[in-house]
Amino acid sequence: MKLNRTDAYTQFMRGEIGMMIGHPMLMGAADQAKLPYAHAAFPKKDGGAAPPVGISDWLMAFRRNDHRKECGAFLSFLYSGKSALTYGGSQSALPVTYSASDAATGKPAEQPLSPFIEQLANAQFAPVNMRSWPAVRGAIRTDVGQAVLKGGEPETVLASLDESAVKADMEAATS
């Protein structure tokens, strides 16, 4: 049995899943459906709260075809306080600038994002700077769910993912 994020979100919204890791946009859907929810920290094996997991998205502009000025103008507009806050609020994504984050934690309409913004300072991010990361991420996406299936063996799945990471690192180092 495979479960994708869209199906999991749908099941959560129907009350069939009681706890899940979700994107902040799920909060907006839950609010509209008047579905009560709460936030909880990731638990650690030995107790307490694990550091939050951060996700990195990149936006790049290229200098080709003499559009450097236009790219600069677009990026300046996009990352201005008002634009960054508008994008973050309308898409339920976290603001990408300090000024927009400050504004999002201060505006009542943006309060749901406050817990996520406050966690950013302690967040641990995936190693996107490593050339092996795309292969490792692919293995995680396809294999990690097997750890929680009935009869799944988390230790075996994690050992396999570790082997995938080592292999990807070795391949990246030789290319």
Give the chain's length.
175
Whether 115 and 137 share a structural domain: no
Whether 19 and 5 share a structural domain: yes
Q: Which of 125, 146, 165 is the last residue of a domain?
A: 125
Domain count of the chain? 3
Range of the domain at 157: 127-175
DSSP at 36: -
Whether 131 and 105 share a structural domain: no
Q: From start to end of 112-167, where are the E strands?
A: 124-125
pLDDT tens digit sequence for 113-138? 777 888 888 889 888 888 888 888 88
How many C-beta atoms surround the C-beta of residue 158 within 10 A? 13
- Whether residue 68 has pLDDT greater than 90: no
Is this model's pTM higher than 0.75 or not?
Answer: no
Whether 106 and 141 share a structural domain: no
- Whether residue 109 has pLDDT greater than 70: no
Structure tokens at 54: 């951060």
Whether 88 and 136 share a structural domain: no
Let me know if residue 151 belongs to a domain: yes
Q: Among 56, 61, 59, 60, which Cα is nearest to 133's?
A: 56
Evaluate whether 28 touches 113 at the Cβ level (below 8 Å): no
Query: Phi and psi (nearest 5°) for 23?
Result: -80, 150
Torsion of CA 103, 109, 115, 119, to 10 degrees: -30
Q: From start to end of 28-153, where are the E strands?
A: 53-54, 124-125
Let me know if residue 88 belongs to a domain: yes
Let me know if residue 46 belongs to a domain: no
